[in-house]
Chain A
């Protein structure tokens, strides 16, 4: 029963990994660009949630929405101010741009919020749920389920709506999309907004259930690399599946090896993936 408990806990956290990794894979698939600051977007989502609770006394719905909207805007701003200009530039500029942004955001957060571990004050979500013998804190359950639902919603948005088709059209062929009357710049900005917004959502959801500090971003972005690589280039559903798998692997390694090794196992899996199956689970060879 304890093992089942560990696995369910891993699945719920994995659903949150899936949500922010879906944002990373969207950018990667659409413009072949890796956002090294993606983990910092999640971290910002957590602090925005905290500030909303402290200043406006907003409930879970309010602070999750606030974090998502603020991060959507942040994503659009980052695209227009930075990414658009380096997208056609040398590899060095592409990697340094978001890598520098990550440092800037992470250590500005350290400066403002200090290195202390914080958590959200008790919200209306509390208590423990009994799922047939498996006991799960309600915040973990709600956050995980909401993240899974939102990841699926992002998948539906990308595959079933007109804006999704336009985004994919730009990803497929920028010039052809332009000839069809689609503005690639606007679409790419929306993609950045969606990616950052999903990271912000994931951060706010995670903040309801888990404590954090300004340094979490590095762990998250590395986790997202593994999820995206495992799930396959640009696939939101792949990220969903891979996120759940990584969540379980992490929970099991924390259970059997000790909490400090849970990230080590995941990073080692990344290297193993690059050696043996860089195209991921779903990808074609």
Chain B
């Protein structure tokens, strides 16, 4: 696994240098952004097995906060990042505390309801731009506005945050907390009977997940300099996190990266074919992929690989045998 991480880090570090074309840089940025938010979702949805279908609420809060502090007080957008994190944590506690006492379905139902609730409220609240949304600084006043003409600095900024999250996730995997999460996922009642503090562990996982989802939203808003209810809190945001993590392998460290690696080129290609009217078809495609995943391979590509790899290996060995004889 060590060499895989090394190769991956090298590839991600070298990517903008090898493909400096703005188009590829843009694809790279969307890759990092969705990999980051899907990895954040993965902590609670994958490792803890508590499926959130409304993670867009944390992303949206994270995206609105930087532009809000800029619009209200002219503060640099970065100053809004902690605000986004704090509000996301409050939301996480508000949704997690009541639902984690109950069966797993309640959490999923609550996340989608709260995300929709916030989307409607934000869309009608003039302070946060209502349906029009918020804009960031058009021209950076100083370096701390983080408005770069080139996309290269953003690329490395996103990459650094993603690396931090993966590092934390790896530490979690190996820690007592990680064992608790896996125990809860494979059987809540058994975990409780073994003394795992189930409710608290699930809540901590959601809070950690919310912090990084909010960060992903902030990065998105600072880079784009614009956010509206749909691009912050839209259903597509929540769906993308779920599908990317589940496609690659929910509850695995690199699953979300693999998922993003498959889905971002696929999405770019379908948008290219179908032009501007392709958003609806993107949803149809996502829906289809999600149904097929759930029906045939809930473990995603990760599990598929472990199911197929030994067979491939055997077939290769069988082919080699005649030569040996």
Contacts and interface: CB of A to CB of B under 8 A. Distances in A.
B99 interface: yes
Central interface residue in A92, A107, A264, by most chain B CB within 10 Å: A92
A92 B246 contact: yes
Interface string A255-282: 0000011011001101100110010000
The size bracket of the interface on B is 35 or more
Q: Dominant SS at the B interface? A: helix
B112 interface: yes
A96 B120 contact: no
A77 to B, nearest CB: 13
Given A103-B287, A278-B98, A97 B295 contact: yes
B289 A100 contact: yes
Interface stretch (A47-55, A83-91, A171-179): A83-91
A275 B117 contact: no
Contact of A100 (B98, B112, B287): B287
B211 interface: no
Interface residues of A, number: 46
B94 A111 contact: no
Nearest to A82: B295
A86 B294 contact: yes
Given A82-B291, A96-B290, A103 B51 contact: no
Central interface residue in B104, B116, B120, B294, by most chain A CB within 10 Å: B294
Given A104-B284, A264-B120, A274-B106, A92 B53 contact: no
Nearest to A258: B124
A264 B284 contact: no
Contact of B281 (A33, A106, A111, A229): A111
B284 A100 contact: no
Nearest to A262: B120
A82 B109 CA distance: 20
Contacts of A268: 117
A271 B108 contact: no
A108 B112 CA distance: 21
Contact of A103 (B103, B239, B250): B239
Contact of B294 (A32, A100, A105, A260): A100
19 contacts: A28-B105, A36-B108, A90-B298, A92-B45, A92-B246, A92-B294, A93-B294, A96-B290, A97-B295, A100-B286, A100-B287, A103-B239, A107-B280, A107-B281, A111-B280, A218-B116, A271-B117, A274-B106, A278-B106
